[in-house]
Structures are given as structure tokens and as C-alpha cells.
Amino acid sequence: MNEGLLYMRIQEHVKLSGAAALVALPWLKGDVWIPFVASLGIDVDHYLWHAVTHRTLSLREAVRYFGQADPPQLRQQRLLHQPVVLGMLLFVAAWTRSRVLWLILMGLLFHVGLDVVHITQMGRLKRMLSEQAGFRCPECGRDCEVLQLHTVAFARSVFDRYNAGHFVVLCPGCHERAHG
């Protein structure tokens, strides 16, 4: 099971975006689907990057690539997440006074906000568990400056997502074998 520091599980984004849509429903009414779809659709940039770079439209190959033990974390994979892109959308939405663009921007920003929380919490977990392990892989006993976070059990609830009991730190070799 892989939990890269930059990637929140799709199911979590769906649940949290759905909850936000329910909260926003009284104000947005029939337009509530726009930020909901935007908050989920933003991750299409990962797939598009993979399709262009690896010259394949295979969704299975993209899932395999991003599901490896420690996939490369490249800015190019997250084009729609970049502040420049979000800033340009903000400018166009303000300039055109388009309600649809504002709602799209709301959904994108909600998603990026979730990613920021996720990155922060996963980084905290990785530091804490690495320190507790004395920077030694608990699987092979090798000293390692940079241990990788591995999920041993998925949380049943988004509220229990960052429970240290769901994770272990491993050296890169043991982490790769755990995914093998």
C-alpha cells in the first residue's frame, strides 16, 4: 500500500469534497456540482502528465506508476495545482465576473487546501516515526537517513487518517519489497 507524501487517496478527496458540497448546498443550490467536479477533476493533470511523458493513454499504467512504493514527486505532474495557474484563473474570473469560473476556482482551491493538510500531516508522521525508529529500518535493521512512509492499514474514517498506527517507516529497499 502506497502513501506518497504528495498524494491523498482519491476516495478521501471524494468524501471530503462531497461533505463540502453538502455544506455549500444551501448557498450554491443547483451550482453546487461545479466546485465539486472541479475539486475532483483537478487531478487529471497527473494522468495527462503520465500520458504525455510515457506516451500511453493506459489508465492502468498511470495507476501502476503512481502506485509504486515511492513515485517521483515532480511539479510537472501537478500543473493545475500550481499557484501561477490558480492565480491566472483568479484573474480571469475577476476580469470576466464569471460565477462559473469563481465556482471552479473554489473547487480547485478546496482540493489544493486538502493537499496542503495531507502533505503537512504525512511529513509530521514520517518525521515522528523516523525519530522513534532511530532512523533505522525496522524490517532489515539498516541505518537510513531517509526512511519512507508505508501504509500498513487504511483508516476506516477520514478522521482517523493520520493515526501513526496505520504507518511504518522503511528503508527504500524494504519499502519497494513491501510493494512487490
pLDDT tens-digit series, residues 96-154: 999 999 999 999 999 999 999 998 999 999 999 999 999 999 999 999 999 999 999 88
pLDDT at 174 over 80: yes
Whether 140 is covered by a domain: the verdict is yes
Whether 149 is covered by a domain: the verdict is yes
C-alpha cell at 4: 506518497
C-alpha cell at 77: 505532474
Model pLDDT, residue 5: 47
Q: Which of 11-15, 90-94, 97-101, 164-168 has the lowest mean pLDDT?
A: 11-15
Whether 4 is covered by a domain: the verdict is no
Whether 160 is covered by a domain: the verdict is yes
Write out pLDDT tens, residues 25-53: 999 999 999 999 999 999 999 999 999 99
Q: Taking every pair of C-alpha atoms in the chain, what is the biggest distance, in angstroms?
A: 59
Q: How far apart are CA 7 and CA 102, in angstroms?
A: 25
- Greater model confidence, 69 or 15: 15
Question: Whole domain around residue 20: which residue ranges?
Answer: 10-179
Three-state DSSP class for 143? strand
Q: What is the mean pLDDT of the chain?
A: 91
Model pLDDT, residue 135: 96
Write out pLDDT tens, residues 65-74: 887 777 778 8
Q: What CA–CA distances, in Å, run from 13 to 58, 114, 173?
A: 22, 8, 30
Model pLDDT, residue 154: 85
Q: What share of the chain is helix, strand, coil (3-state, %, to 5)?
A: 65, 5, 30
Whether 1 is covered by a domain: the verdict is no
Structural domains of the chain, count:
1
Whether 2 is covered by a domain: the verdict is no
Model pLDDT, residue 7: 59
Q: What CA–CA distances, in Å, run from 21 to 18, 34, 94?
A: 5, 9, 23
Whether 120 is covered by a domain: the verdict is yes
Model pLDDT, residue 179: 85
Instruction: Say what the pTM is.
Output: 0.86
Whether 31 is covered by a domain: the verdict is yes
